[in-house]
A and B are shown apart, each in its own frame.
Chain A
Amino acid sequence: MVKEIEKAGITVVQMCNLIPVAVTVGANRIVPTISIPYPLGDPDTPKEQQWKLRYHRVGVALDALTQDIDEQTVFKVKI
């Protein structure tokens, strides 16, 4: 799906946990998530912490959409 979206010229960032798979499949902008069942918020942590993590990582993904890249790029996250 990510390739079809990008093929259409729409800038796309994939947020996922299995980075090697996304790289193999051919996603160009990739932002890591924390797990498969809860990509953007660990249920064992307080709600506020989950929100902070999600806000941060989605922010990284949005910024990734604005960055010119010349190869497949996995963007760094801080939390």
Chain B
Amino acid sequence: MKAIHYINQFFAGIGGEEKADHKPEIREGLVGPSLALNSMLNAEVTHTIICGDNYMGSNTEEAVNTILGFLENKEFDIFIAGPAFQAGRYGVACGTICKAVKEKFNVPVITSMNEENPGVEMFKSDVIIFKGGKSAAKLRNDVKVMADYANKILAGEELGSADEEGYFSRGIRSQVWLKSGKTAAQRGVEMLIKKLNNQPYQTELVIPKQDRIPIAPAIKDLSKANIALVTSGGIVPVDNPDRIQSASATRWGRYDISGTDDLESGVYKTIHAGFDPAAADADPDVVVPVDVMKAYLKEGKIGKLHKYFYSTVGTGTTQAEAARMGKEIVEKLKEDNVDGVILTST
């Protein structure tokens, strides 16, 4: 059995930040942490790949292609990177190269990082990342954890769940025969009994935590509040002056409705490519309810309707683009001290 190990310029003894632009190289045999890995692994570490963290970060495609090129004529059964501890760029580099090697050569890949390493969030669904220490003081320990798991893979042993093995959950469910032979009904009742007795119990289906935003406070007096309309439904003036894309939008627009009591067909339309536009084109108020907002303004239910409505297209749009556009729109809303927003989505 053969293994190849990836480490950065620092652990190869080449240098620190000043050498972080070091281009990828492959050396026969063992360098730095490879010695420890080789001693614990039931396989021979035949080669060590070294790359500077900045080079990997700034020239990712070239770095990955170079390294994949190194590996093309090599025989290896497993690929191990790091451990990267809390070193952010090193962690991202380990994740990047592990993912690429797995995709190209279809061999098991393993790395290790501390939970604070941004590489965890970026790669944990693609790569087995063991929960590592904060600093190189944990080097031997983190290497051993990876080596133990690698040995199980190489021996074809039964592998446990992410929690049992100690790596970050990849969000994958797999069916297993339980040694206990207990059915789901029995396990469910046992959990319920524990819950009723206030005893600790562990769900079998953990829902990953989401990035939650603190709830904005309630508006105390709506009759004095300034309310704005925002939509991801792609309503624009018929000539689409801001050239907002019909899908995968990167642009947004805002349109003056101070003199408009109703979004009329033929004046406004939708450019959203993700739904049948007939109804929205026939009456754009069904997506951006300007008509009823003007009614609520006249009744005095709201103090002010912000002068513009904001529009983009929410289909195929990446979260990053949506977040950026959201930030840009927020700037405009703040200029007019908007208190509340109705965001309509299609």
Among B8-16, B100-108, B174-182, B334-342, the stretch in contact with A: B334-342
- Give min CB distance, A64 to chain B, whole Å: 9
Q: Mark B277-321, 1 if CB is under 8 A from A, else 0.
A: 111101101110101110110000110000000001010000000
Among B48-56, B142-150, B189-197, B212-220, the stretch in contact with A: B212-220
B346: A residues at CB distance < 8 A: 16-17, 36-37, 39
Residues of A29-50 whose CB lies within 8 A of B: 29, 33, 36-41, 43, 50
- State the B residues within 8 Å of A (CB): 210-220, 222, 225, 227, 230, 232-233, 274-280, 282-283, 285-287, 289, 291-293, 295-296, 301-302, 312, 314, 322-323, 325-327, 329-330, 333-334, 338-346
- State the A residues within 8 Å of B (CB): 1-18, 22, 24, 26, 28-29, 33, 36-41, 43, 50-51, 54-55, 58-59, 61-63, 65-71
Q: In the docked arrangement, what's the CA distance between A67 and B48, Å? A: 60
Assess whether B333 is in contact with A10, with CB atoms less than 8 Å apart. Answer: yes
A28: B residues at CB distance < 8 A: 213, 215-216
Closest B residue, CB atoms, query A12: B341
Assess whether A37 is in contact with B217, with CB atoms less than 8 Å apart. Answer: no
18 contacts between A and B (CB under 8 A): A1-B230, A1-B314, A8-B334, A11-B218, A14-B345, A18-B345, A36-B275, A37-B275, A40-B287, A43-B278, A43-B279, A51-B292, A54-B292, A59-B292, A59-B296, A66-B218, A68-B217, A70-B215
